[in-house]
């Protein structure tokens, strides 16, 4: 509870400092911090795993609770940094919240068990199978945390280290508890499920700004229809979302866009009078501009 009060006071304090001017301009409402959830969320893929303590672990076992499904690894520094806060969060909201921890890239299960025991985990930990990882989009970075509502639907996804206070705010919002934030919704265009990349109007590293609406539609259709050859087994659009550093999908996407882009007009050739026998004027030297020093 201390974390929610702290973040609430900090953010509300920042808003209140601008309150006199905001009140005059009517912008106070627009300045209120927000959290966002997916509109029309889809059910999280279920799994049946064995936790490190030997007990069965499924999503169904957390039915009716908000679930934080955390993919991580023991060798991942940011993953280890958030563990103490997740432990405190589980302790604070044990009746309404369930954290489920899925390990990836495990070389030695016994080492993982020793790490979990030493860290004092109070929520279940299991090793994610390759099938589970692919069901959740392949997990391109660690940690990756999915937020599930009480109906088992994925409403948000966080990739990389996030402030655990944000997880608490999201959990409270899903539990209809008061928070100093507005709640807004957004359409999933591949941020949660890669299969929804076909809804995206923009893709990472793909410049569609020069295209007409019709050309943009054609480009997006091609990017969603053609598979990437980098080995990811995804479409070009999905690969751009899943791995924005992939040069293969980036270069191929640029080629598709270039083929559809309006071509710049060619420079008109200079006129040449074949009947002219006049002596050409002397060529005047072109003055060399002075170099401007970089500031």
- Looking at the annotation, which residues are catalytic? 76, 79
Separation CA 152–CA 61 (nearest Å): 11
CB-based contact 192:238 (threshold 8 Å): no
Burial of 265 (0-12, 13-18, 19+ CB in 10 A): exposed
Residues in contact with 34: Cβ distance below 8 Å, sequence separation at least 6, in sequence order: 181, 182, 183, 184
Length of the chain: 295
Separation CA 127–CA 73 (nearest Å): 10
110, 49, 45, 102: which is closest to 76 by C-alpha? 102
- Per-residue b/e over 199-232, b at no fewer than 16 CB within 10 Å? ebeebbebebeebeeebbebbbebbbeeebebeb
CA angle 155, 171, 40 (to 5 degrees): 20
């Amino acid at each position: 509870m201390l974390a929610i009060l702290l973040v609430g006071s900090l953010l509300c304090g920042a808003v209140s400092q601008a309150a006199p001017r905001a009140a005059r301009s009517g912008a106070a409402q627009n300045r209120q911090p927000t959290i966002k959830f997916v509109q029309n969320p889809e059910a999280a893929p279920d799994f049946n795993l064995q936790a490190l303590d030997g007990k069965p672990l499924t999503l169904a076992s957390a039915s009716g609770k908000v679930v934080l499904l955390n993919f991580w690894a023991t060798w991942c520094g940011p993953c280890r940094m958030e563990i103490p806060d997740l432990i405190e969060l589980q302790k604070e909201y044990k009746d309404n919240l369930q954290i489920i921890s899925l390990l990836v890239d495990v070389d030695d299960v016994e080492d993982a068990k020793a790490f979990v025991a030493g860290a004092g985990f109070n929520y279940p930990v299991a090793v994610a199978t390759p099938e589970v990882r692919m069901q959740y989009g392949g997990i391109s970075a660690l940690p990756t945390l999915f937020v599930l509502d009480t109906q088992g639907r994925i409403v948000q996804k966080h990739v990389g280290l996030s402030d655990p206070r944000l997880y608490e705010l999201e959990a409270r919002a899903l539990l209809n508890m008061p928070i100093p934030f507005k709640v807004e919704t957004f359409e999933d265009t591949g941020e949660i499920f890669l299969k929804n990349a076909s809804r995206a109007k923009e893709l990472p590293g793909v410049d569609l700004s020069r295209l007409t609406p019709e050309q943009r539609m054609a480009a997006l259709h091609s990017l969603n229809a053609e598979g990437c050859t980098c080995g990811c087994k995804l479409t070009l659009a999905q690969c751009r979302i899943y791995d924005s550093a992939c040069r293969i999908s980036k270069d191929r996407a640029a080629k598709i866009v270039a083929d559809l882009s309006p071509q710049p007009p060619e420079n008109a050739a200079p006129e040449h009078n074949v009947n002219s026998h006049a002596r050409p004027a002397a060529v005047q030297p072109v003055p060399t501009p002075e170099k401007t020093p970089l500031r």
